[in-house]
Amino acid sequence: MFQPTFAVISGAQVHQVLAGKEKLIVDLVESTYRVHGRGETVNPPSYFLRMPDRPSSRIIALPAALGGETPVDGLKWISSFPDNVAAGIPRASAVLILNDHDTGYPFACLESSIISAARTAASAALAADRLSAPGARPRRVGFFGVGLIARYIHTYLAGTGWEFDEIGVHDLSAEHAAGFRDYLTGAAPGTPTTVHTDPEDLVRGSDLVIFATVAGTPHVTDPGWFDHNPLVLNVSLRDLAPEIILASANVVDDVEHCLKADTSPHLAEQLSGNRDFIDGTLDEVITGAVTPRTGRPLVFSPFGLGVLDIALGHLVHEQLRASGDLVPVEGFFHEMRRYGSQR
C-alpha cells in the first residue's frame, strides 16, 4: 500500500542547498520558463488576502502545477508586511507546500522566503543577461530599494559573472542605503559605490536600473529620466508611472499575470486601452520568437510565477533526500485506511 511521507525543511537547510549555486538556479529558472512557454504548466492567478485593519499588508497564495520531466504541484503562501522593516525583521515570510503529482499528497513544507528571493533574483539575472546587447552587458548598475531582494539580485548577478564599474544605491531610508552600501563594499570590493539621495541621479547614472521596493503606487513619473535607454528590471512592479512603460520596450514573464493587480504595465494598459506596448515574454526572447524594440528603455516586469517556486523547492527537496538530510515527520499521515483499522 502507498505510504506517503511528509518532511519539514527549514530555512537553514534551504540556504545550505542553494548557497553558491547561482548559475544552477538561473539555469533551472530558464528551463522552467521554457516549460511554461510550452504550455506544460498550470499557473492560475495569485490570490491576494488583504486585511482592512492592515491596509499596507497582504498574504498571497500562488498555486501552481509544473509539468515537464519532473512534474510536481504545490502552493506558495507568502506574506508581505512592510511595517516589519521598522521592527527590524524582514518584510516577507513564506512557506511552500509540495504535492505529489500522482496522488496529490503533500510531501514537504519548506521555509520559502529564501526560495522566493532566490527565484526572483535568478529571474532578474536571467533577464539582465538575455536582454542585454550581445557582448555589451551594462557596466553601471543602480539599485532603487535596498532590501533582501536587492541583496539577492546582486548576489545572483555576481554569481553569474557580472562585473560593474560603478554601483549606485538609493532608498528612502538613509540608514538602509548606508547599510546596503556597506554590504556592497564587502561583496564587491574595489567597485565604487555611491549612495544617491536624489532618485533622478541614480536612474540617469545607471545603464542597468533595478527597482526592488515596497511601493504600492507609481512614484517615478518622468520618462525623461530614462532618455539614455537603460535596461530596467521592474522587479517590484509598481514604481513606474504608466507613461514610462508606454515610452519603453516591455518584456514580461507572463502577459496575463503581469497585467493585473495595478502593476505599472496594468496601469499602462488601462491608460492606453490596449496591450500594444508589450513586446513579448522573456521565454519568447530566449527562443528568438521576439526581439524587443530598440532605441528606447527596455523594461522587464516579472509578476513572479508560482511554478518557479515549485521548481526550486523541488530541487531543494530532492537534493536533501539524495544527501540523506531529509527527515520525515513520523506519523504525519494517520488515517490511511478508508474504513479505519480493524481490531
Using DSSP's 3-state secondary structure scheme, residue 202 falls into helix
Kindly list the structural domains of the chain, giving each domain's residue range(s) and its CATH number in brackets, ordered by start. Answer: 7-115+306-323 (3.30.1780.10), 133-301 (3.40.50.720)
- Alpha-carbon dihedral 247, 304, 26, 33, rounded to 10 degrees: -90
Provide the whole-model pTM. 0.93
Give strand pairing partners of 79.
Answer: 59, 93
Question: Would you state the cell numbers that stand for residue 297, as one nine-digit string?
Answer: 528603455
Interacting residues of 46 by C-beta distance below 8 A, sequence separation 6+: 60, 61, 62, 257, 261, 303, 304, 306
User: E strands along 105-218, which residues?
Assistant: 106-111, 140-144, 166-170, 193-195, 208-211
pLDDT in tens, the chain (343 residues): 568 899 999 999 999 999 999 999 999 999 999 999 999 999 999 999 999 999 989 999 999 999 998 899 999 999 999 889 888 888 889 999 999 999 999 999 999 999 999 999 999 999 999 999 888 899 999 999 999 999 999 999 999 999 999 999 999 999 999 999 999 999 999 999 999 999 999 999 999 999 999 898 999 999 999 999 999 999 999 999 999 999 999 999 999 999 998 999 999 999 999 999 999 999 999 999 999 999 999 999 999 999 999 999 999 999 999 999 999 999 899 877 777 665 5
Q: How many beta carbons lie within 10 A of that of residue 25, not counting itself?
A: 25
Interacting residues of 28 by C-beta distance below 8 A, sequence separation 6+: 122, 311, 312, 315
Using DSSP's 3-state secondary structure scheme, residue 283 falls into helix
Buried/exposed code over 296-321 (b: 16+ C-beta within 10 A; e: otherwise) = ebbbbbbbbbbbbbbbbbbbbbebbe
Contact 122, 25 (CB under 8 A): yes
CA-closest candidate to residue 261, choices 64, 50, 39, 36 = 50
Which pLDDT score, from 0 to 100, does residue 179 have? Answer: 96
Tell me the CA distances in angstroms from 38 to 67, 68, 202, 331, one per residue in order: 10, 9, 38, 39
